[in-house]
Amino acid sequence: MKYRTLGRTGLRVSVIGLGTMVHAGHFGPMKDSESLSAIDAALELGVNFIDTSDAYGAGYSESLLGKALRGRRDKVILATKGGNVMAGPNRGKRNFAPDYIDGVLHESLERLQTDYVDLYQLHNPTVDVIEHGEVWGVLERRKQEGKIRHYGVSINTMEEGIAAVKTGRSDTIQVEYNLLTQEAAEKIFPLAQEANVGIIARVPLRRGVLTGKMTQADESRFQGEDVRARSFKGEAFAKELAKAEQLRFLVHGPAKTLGQAAIAFCIAHPAVSVTIAGARNDKQMRENAAAGDVTIPNEDLARVADLWRRGFAA
């Protein structure tokens, strides 16, 4: 496993991390035994960065991770997030009020069975919160107490990322970056590199589209709480699959699958310290981790950039 420094935090993180949204059942039913096997495999393979959130299963993912890391907490750089209300009358809303974030931070620590987290991230704050929110004072106080070592943001828009860099408060930015979503490389990464802000690339497999294993028939199994039920439908889903097909030229040499090539693409950018693909089980974790040793040739990277700029038009 290769390691990089996560911006100005100084943390040495594995280039391949583990995202745990899948373990809360947001991508279809899960068995705890499979989730635990993925976490065990991650640690065995040298993966030391694990990302979670209080929003994943309304804390379920954090609780599962707390049990899995019992006695092994020192082997992991642990990141979690807060700000999305997942229970009660305000479910589905966001809250970045200082008292609210302070409360859910402590609840996360309890579920994770730890005295501190290495990275605490505001989960999709607005530009106004990033620029003017009083919540930053709470995060700094908890940092001084040792309950969090560093803090940052997980964002949805380029404007939020630019604001996060310019205000200077965020040590890290977590942003979607993959073969089909490359805006961050143009609009955020150069600013982050100049400011030494660490980049965490999320959704490297585009919810499974970039594994190369999906077909239109999979649409029927995206039901209920599966996050793909909202967007992986009809023509929109077909277009995503068609784009993925255009990227199969990346599968050669050490890249044995499109999924491995997709993960390797993320860490090919020097601004990215770690990418956090989910893994349902130990088999998927091993395939993901192997992508850390895959180098995408420059000519392939150029072709990918050209495809994206043309909107994958024929």
Question: In this structure, is residue 167 part of a structural domain?
Answer: yes
287: amino acid identity, one letter: E
Q: Using 50, 70 and 90 to split pLDDT, how confident is the model at 89?
A: confident
Q: What pLDDT score does 30 carry?
A: 76
Catalytic pick from 3, 56, 116, 151?
Answer: 56
**What's the CA gap between 282 and 168, in Å, rounded?**
38
| Mean pLDDT, range 69-74, rounded to an integer | 95
> Between 66 and 229, whose confidence is greater?
66
- The residues near 26 (Cβ < 8 Å, ≥ 6 apart) are 56, 57, 225, 226, 227
**CATH code of the domain in which 272 resides:** 3.20.20.100
Residue 182: which domain range?
3-212+254-297
**For residues 140, 143, 149 and 151, what is the CA-based torsion angle, rounded to 10 degrees?**
-20
Mean pLDDT to the nearest integer, 197-202: 98
Q: Minimum mean pLDDT among 51-60, 173-182, 291-300: which range?
A: 51-60
Please identify which residue in the block is written with the tokens 């019992």.
Answer: 70
Tell me whether residue 229 is in a domain: no
- Whether the pLDDT of residue 131 is over 90: the answer is yes
Count of C-beta atoms within a 10 Å radius of residue 168: 9
Q: Give residue 230's pLDDT band: very low, low, confident or very high (50, 70, 90).
A: confident
Domain count, the chain: 1
Q: Which residue has the higher pLDDT, 26 or 293?
A: 293
56 as an active site residue: the answer is yes
Tell whether 270 is covered by a domain.
Answer: yes
E strand or H helix at 302? helix 298-309
Cα dihedral: 63, 27, 247, 124 (round 10) = -60
Which residues are CB-neighbours of 223 under 8 A, at least 6 positions away?
229
Whether the per-residue pLDDT at 151 is higher than 80: the answer is yes
Confirm whether 234 is domain-assigned: no
User: Average pLDDT of 26-36?
Assistant: 85
Q: Which two tokens stand for residue 297?
A: 């040739």
pLDDT above 90 for 251: yes
Q: Confidence band (pLDDT; 50, 70, 90) for 191?
A: very high
Global pTM reads 0.95
pLDDT of 264-276, one tens digit each?
999 999 999 999 9
CA 205/CA 208 separation, integer angstroms: 5
Q: Is it the case that residue 84 has pLDDT exceeding 90?
A: no
What's the pLDDT at 90? 84
- 47 within a domain of the structure (yes/no): yes
In a domain, 240, yes or no: no
> Is residue 179 a part of any domain in this protein?
yes
Q: How far apart are CA 63 and CA 70, in angstroms?
A: 11
Look at residue 113 and tell me if it is in a domain: yes
